[in-house]
Amino acid sequence: MFLLALGRSPADFFRLVWTGAFGSWFSWRNTLSRAAPLLLTALCVAVPAQLGLVVIGGEGALVLGGLAATWTGLMLDGAPGAVMQLMMAVAGAAAGAVWLGLVGLLRAQRGINETVTSLVMAYIAIALFNQLVEGPLRDPASLNKPSTYAIPKAAALPTLPGLDVHPGILIGGVACVLCWLLIARTTTGFAARVTGGNVRAAQLQGLPVAWLMVGACALGGALAGLAGMIEVAAVHGRANASLIVGYGYSDILIAFLARQNALAIIPMAVLLGGIGAAGGLLQRRMGLPDAAVLVLQGMIFVAILASETLYGPCAGSSRGPLHEQFRMNAAETVLVAMLAGALRVSTPFLFVSLGECLTERAGRINLGNEGVLVLGAMVAYATSYLTGSPWLGVLAAAAAGSALGGLHGLLCALTRVNDVAMGIAILLAGNGIAFFFGKPFVQPSAPGLPGIPFGGWSSVPQVQSALTISPLFLVGVAVAFGMAWMFRATRLGLRLRIVGDSVDAARALGLDINRTRLLATMAGSALAGVGGAFLSLVYPGSWNESLSSGQGLMAVAPGGLPRRIHAVRRGRGAGAVAAIGGGHELLLPVLCRPVRADIGGAGRNCASQPGGARHAG
């Protein structure tokens, strides 16, 4: 339907996908090269899933593994090539294992939800990677694209003889087979599956549940780190931003499409690699922009994941005029700058956190809010430009977010559909739709939302600017207090909490679980859409494809953890840290006190609960 609406032939699309992915040996080489890292990163999700853990931080382990491998290769310059390659692989795997092993340790020892922890850890890893690559490890010759020094030529992985494909595809395939043998044919794998099926039974049998969790997460991290090493040694030759292309997020879809089966990951990774490889041909032959491929990928994954329901198991100067008007020392300047930054940066966090809080109160995780945020930003900017009314843009963003959230809610209401995987698919679809339809609005200037000046009492320009507050921020604060009151003092809030806390109790009371969760997801996504409107109409006040830097995903952490912390404190806390100028990911877990949970309970999609809903913490 999407292709027909664009005046394109679906038959031509599938024919070109086949030609671009598998139509020639050149196409096969491109497909296999793209599939190689996906094999290993998908195992990063599938292995912990055997214990009922949903670990989605493979991107962080991959980039740190690539960076560790690069540093090791540079340190061993002059050593034999085989030694360098082996030590680079060990270093990359070790970096990933330590990074995601921490996720398993926090889950086993403190009961902290592994989905949120691994997601936040991925952002910390990417920030650390960027800091090192653009700082102490940077090659001064890399001007336009910060990179490390190139690894020695002897450390580069050669292509497979006669195939002209790097050995990453072979390593990934062998890893899939070995992981399948580990899970299906060993006592350790059996213990992991018992733990994933019933953690209490595993504990009663004396199985080392905590160590199994740590080991599974560490093994997944090691495989993702090895993928980073292969990308450096076989493709890029150095560590730079080319490593951060989303392999660690595409793997989530592959793992769920393969239903966590290590052998089934192989064809799924090749399929996804083929779709990516055919993107250039689709753009040339059908005249489709690059965003159209992303839209089609998202729609394909949404359809496939939804089909699960049909089968399967469960500083300024101190002199001059300003000084004479009002003397501001350095500390006051910093505080004012932090205040201004916090009020501006916190607003999208606030709205997305409120939306996620509302959704999770009803018992569902919505990782698609990143796509909703981007789509809301595009719709708000386009509507404001076309109508001249920024407030209509805000309403349109809320409507677009609600529609995308409604789709998410309807699909997750189907049996055996995992809300985490569906959220990632909705994220891809939302981003693709926004990028596709938003291209004509990148250059035009749309009217922005005016601010409310609360700094008129001061003659200092910095204070006046800091206290010019967007009305959307005030709306968000009001919504936060309204939601807190609703959850504590209304029948609607009580129904939401009952549905989220106990499906059996909700059924006994005659509550419509699917309808409640659908409406909560739609309302939460509408709030996330308003957060996107703030990005395009207030700060930074423009529309482009790199507008969001992951706020929708990062807001899951403050939105889904201790429910007794008021949502307004969560949103403003994240924004205040972001305003300092970086490193806000480090504080997100601190803002949210961990909750002791049943080990192994979170992270599984229970077919006995409609929509497979579960709590995030």
Looking at residue 453, the DSSP 8-state letter turns out to be E
pLDDT confidence of residue 337: 52
Planar angle of CA 444, 450, 453, nearest 5 degrees: 150
* Residues 82/88/90/91 CA torsion (nearest 10 deg): 160
The per-residue DSSP string of 353-375 comes to HHHHHHHHHTT---TTHHHHHHH
Q: Does 248 score more than 90 pLDDT?
A: no
At residue 15 the predicted structure's pLDDT band, cuts being 50, 70 and 90, is confident
Residues 6+ apart with CB under 8 A from 360: 366, 500, 559, 560, 615, 616
Give the integer Cα–Cα distance in Å for 112 and 116: 8
Residues 6+ apart with CB under 8 A from 527: 351, 352, 354, 355, 358, 398, 401, 479
- Tell me which fold the domain 347-595+605-611 belongs to: ABC transporter involved in vitamin B12 uptake, BtuC (1.10.3470)
Summarised one tens digit per residue, pLDDT across range 301-355 is: 777 767 666 654 443 344 344 333 334 444 444 455 555 656 667 788 889 989 9
pLDDT confidence of residue 458: 66
The per-residue DSSP string of 587-611 comes to THHHHS------TTTTT---TTSGG
Please state whether beta strands 468-469 and 452-453 pair in parallel, antiparallel, or not at all (unpaired).
antiparallel
Rg of the chain (C-alpha set): 25
HSE-up of 161 (CA within 13 Å, CB side)?
Answer: 0
Query: Domain extents for the chain?
Result: 40-277, 347-595+605-611
Looking at residue 308, the DSSP 8-state letter turns out to be G
Looking at residue 326, the DSSP 8-state letter turns out to be -
Q: Does 504 score more than 50 pLDDT?
A: yes
> Which two three-digit tokens encode residue 255?
């793992």
Summarised one tens digit per residue, pLDDT across range 105-151 is: 999 998 888 888 898 899 899 999 999 999 899 999 888 889 999 99
At residue 26 the predicted structure's pLDDT band, cuts being 50, 70 and 90, is confident
On whether the CB atoms of residues 400 and 558 are closer than 8 A, the answer is: no
Give the integer Cα–Cα distance in Å for 250 and 331: 45
On whether the CB atoms of residues 360 and 500 are closer than 8 A, the answer is: yes
Give the integer Cα–Cα distance in Å for 229 and 31: 19
pLDDT confidence of residue 168: 92
Give the integer Cα–Cα distance in Å for 530 and 474: 13
Map residue 469 onto helix, strand or coil.
Answer: strand
The whole-model pTM stands at 0.69
Residues 6+ apart with CB under 8 A from 276: 34, 293
pLDDT confidence of residue 247: 82
> Which two three-digit tokens encode residue 176?
């899939």
Give the integer Cα–Cα distance in Å for 382 and 444: 9
